[in-house]
Each structure stands twice: as structure tokens, then as C-alpha cells.
Amino acid sequence: MPKDLPILGRLWSKLSPKSKKQGDVGLAAADDEPPRVSSSSTMTATADMERVFRYFDEDGDGKISPSELRSCMRAAGEELSAEEAAAAVESSDSDGDGMLGVEEFVRMVEAEGEAERGRNLREAFEMYAVQGKQHEEEEERRITARSLRRMLRRLGELRTVAECGAMIRAFDLNGDGELSFDEFKIMMH
């Protein structure tokens, strides 16, 4: 599993129902199903997060220490150094006690989720983008009507350059006829 994947993302991929293989670690619960972070209701998502938190909180003290984080990662087949675990906890430890309470844990998971969404959005943008016009003294990748048409065609969606241009104009904030990454992000939300 790639080391650049966020710590909890690596663990979550091991614990999620989609990746469950024989011998994988799962979260123990009354229904023996691992929690699903992407639940449709906020209440279920909160309950799922609390179940994950309790799984990480091995000693039941209401806090997750760096060593507990390491232990959970190890149980899922991932090695995490003491330094990596301490850095992960420190990044979300708002009260300075060197451990994560449930609220801090939720913020850390949400921050990692947001970072992952940003990476996925960048990947999607790169599929459509080409080297763009000179913008403010540096070239950047942009989505043009032609590059959008080319990618849509690969996906089985037949559109004319004019139709693609109209799609771009709807989100082209600076009126240059192309979509920057920032304009693409707005379009995708």
C-alpha cells in the first residue's frame, strides 16, 4: 500500500468492507461489520466514527495515544514509525495532551478525507487538461473545449467542440475560454 496515502486512509482501506479479504482485520461490533464512514446519514456517520475511535482506544481511557495508533496500524498489516504516529496525533491534538480525544480524532479523519478528495479532484482535472495558454507569466494546465471533447469521446460521450465550449463557458470565471484547476473545482462542487 502506498506510503503517501494518509495514515488513516491506509488503515481504513484495510478495515473497509470493500477490501476485506480472508485474514484482514475488521472492527468488532455487535453486527460484526466494519463501520462505513460514507454513511448516508450524519447520525450513522457519527456512530461509525465513534466505533472506529473505540477500536483505536485500546485501553478505553477516551483518548488515542500514538502507541495505540501504531498498534491499530500494525494489526491491519501497516507499519507506522513512532515518529509518524506522534506526528499524526500532534497534527490534530488541539489541547496539547499528546493524545486524541474523539473530537480531535473526527477532525483528523475529516482533514484526511478532504485532502484525499483534493487529490482525486486533481487527478480528474489532469485527465481532461492540456498545457494551456500563457497565464500570468507561467504556463499551467487548462481544460479547453477540444481537450474536454477528446476526453468525453474516450468516455463514450459524443459532443461537438461548440457544445464543450458552452460547458466551459458556464464555469469560466475569467472569460479566457478555458478552465483552470480552480474553476474546475467550482464546477465539481
Q: What angle do CA 168, 170, 173 make, to 5 degrees?
A: 85
The stretch 143-165 carries a mean pLDDT of 92
- pLDDT > 50? residue 119: yes
- Amino acid identity, position 176: D
Look at the alpha carbons of 175, 176, 179, 180 in this order and tell me if their dihedral is positive or negative: negative
At 28 the pLDDT is 40
Stated as kind and residue range, the H or E segment containing 48 is helix 42-56
- pLDDT > 50? residue 18: no
Confidence of residue 80 (pLDDT cuts 50, 70, 90): confident
Beta bridge partners of 131: 141
Q: Cell 484482514, residue?
A: 24
At 20 the pLDDT is 40
CA 156 to the chain's CA centroid = 27
Confidence of residue 126 (pLDDT cuts 50, 70, 90): confident
Domains in the chain, start-ordered, CATH in brackets?
A: 7-120 (1.10.238.10), 129-188 (1.10.238.10)
Residues 6+ apart with CB under 8 A from 94: 104, 107
Gap between the Cα atoms of 156 and 122, Å rounded = 22
Q: Could you give the 3-state DSSP secondary structure of residue 138? A: strand
Gap between the Cα atoms of 30 and 14, Å rounded = 20
